[in-house]
Structure 1
């Protein structure tokens, strides 16, 4: 009887996907700052795995534009330019606006309760100055809109955009303060009322107001870097 190796193959596949998800999550939560240098061996040691699944995950993240390969041995978190950020923000306004509209049209009481719970927990995290938890809840809230709207393809696109946005949002979240959450309350009210126009306006205001803070920081950094040349 021939041995069945399917279980071993499945474990290897799951390990690679797990490593990718862990690194993607770390990027979206801002655990790696812009221009941070990542080494495969250090990441493998931190995750308690071999270098192979980490290398594979790094390659996927490079394809996602979430990391950049400077040389054969050097991988870094990209430094987003103001122009690139403006493009990402423009795309997010359209896509997340669509997600907000569809959420307002489709959401039931359980969905509204889910969104309200995320906002309340985010408020608690802000009050406790738990920025890591607040940042995670913010990202979960935005992704929940695509889930409730029933738009999995859109969610996949947002995932790739947020891989690039994570370090920027993390830097701006604490300085942003109430700007980073106030419009979430408006959005929940619009979803509960079944008002797609109001929901779209709320998410556009959320992205726009937070984006102004991020853009100011990026512009200042860009000028600083130019002055050092």
Structure 2
């Protein structure tokens, strides 16, 4: 594997862990440990970490102290406003394009999420939730939109993961409304349903003191 391909693979590995909520705010990453886990040298891992720091997905407190940052509340609210617009657009497109196979996949994802929640497998449930949201952009055939969402979820994934245990079924109950609207090919109803889903999850996040208050220093690890 070439150096560029290796670097991209390492980046994708860490980015996916963030997006799917395998890492939570305050978690510490060690470059050598990551390199050992991925069977590579420290150089591509360091490059991937610095790229994620530049993108705001990781915080470099010192060369030996790399953390998943806590979000400022005002930054979270800005991301949520953007998600409401963009994921609403994805849901509209999905409602126009969805085939029976697409709908069956959304149903399976929601069933899997229910099972994960019932077993208190919150990391798995968080990952399935992310796949559901991204699947809407896939069904809508909007790869550019999906790429934008990927960048937003680098910061959202850890926050959602931190709230999932307390949120429980609140985090997915609107998925049924999304699926129903898509099945009926009603774009506006699908858009409303995904917006309600984002807002409901946001209420859990905002009520659980996961975010740093605007202007505050936040909890120190």
- TM-score, shorter chain, exceeding 0.5: yes
Spell out, residue by residue over 1:96-144, the C-alpha distance to the aligned partner (whole angstroms, 9 max, x if none): 0000011001111111111111111111211222212211110000000
2:133 corresponds to: 142
Change (3 A) 1:225 1:71: closer
Is 1:90–2:67 an aligned residue pair?
no
Is 1:182–2:170 an aligned residue pair?
no
Conserved 8 A contact 1:85-1:215:
no
Conserved 8 A contact 2:71-2:211:
no
Looking at structure 1, the residues matched to 134 and 43 of structure 2 have their Cα atoms a distance apart, in angstroms, of: 30
Change (3 A) 1:123 1:219: closer
Q: In terms of mean alpha carbon deviation, does 177-186 or 118-127 score higher?
A: 118-127
Greater Cα radius of gyration, structure 1 or 2: 1
RMSD: 2.1
Q: Secondary structure at the match of 1:182?
A: coil
Report matched runs for 1:147-162 at 5 Å. Answer: 147-162=138-153
Conserved 8 A contact 1:100-1:196:
yes
Conserved 8 A contact 1:38-1:74:
yes
1:45 corresponds to: 36
Looking at structure 1, the residues matched to 53 and 218 of structure 2 have their Cα atoms a distance apart, in angstroms, of: 26
Looking at structure 2, the residues matched to 149 and 212 of structure 1 have their Cα atoms a distance apart, in angstroms, of: 27
After TM superposition, give the deviation of residue 219 of structure 1 in Å. Answer: 6.7
Any unmatched runs of 5+ in structure 2? Answer: none
Structure having the larger proportion of residues in helix: 1
Change (3 A) 1:63 1:220: closer
Looking at structure 1, the residues matched to 72 and 201 of structure 2 have their Cα atoms a distance apart, in angstroms, of: 16
Spell out, residue by residue over 1:57-113, the C-alpha distance to the aligned partner (whole angstroms, 9 max, x if none): 112212321112233443221210111110010000000000001100111111111
Change (3 A) 1:101 1:124: same
Is 1:22–2:13 an aligned residue pair?
yes
Looking at structure 2, the residues matched to 221 and 56 of structure 1 have their Cα atoms a distance apart, in angstroms, of: 28
Looking at structure 2, the residues matched to 133 and 57 of structure 1 have their Cα atoms a distance apart, in angstroms, of: 24
Is 1:199–2:190 an aligned residue pair?
yes
**How many pairs are equivalent?**
219
Spell out, residue by residue over 1:174-220, the C-alpha distance to the aligned partner (whole angstroms, 9 max, x if none): 10011111100110000000001110111000000110111122477
Conserved 8 A contact 1:104-1:192:
yes
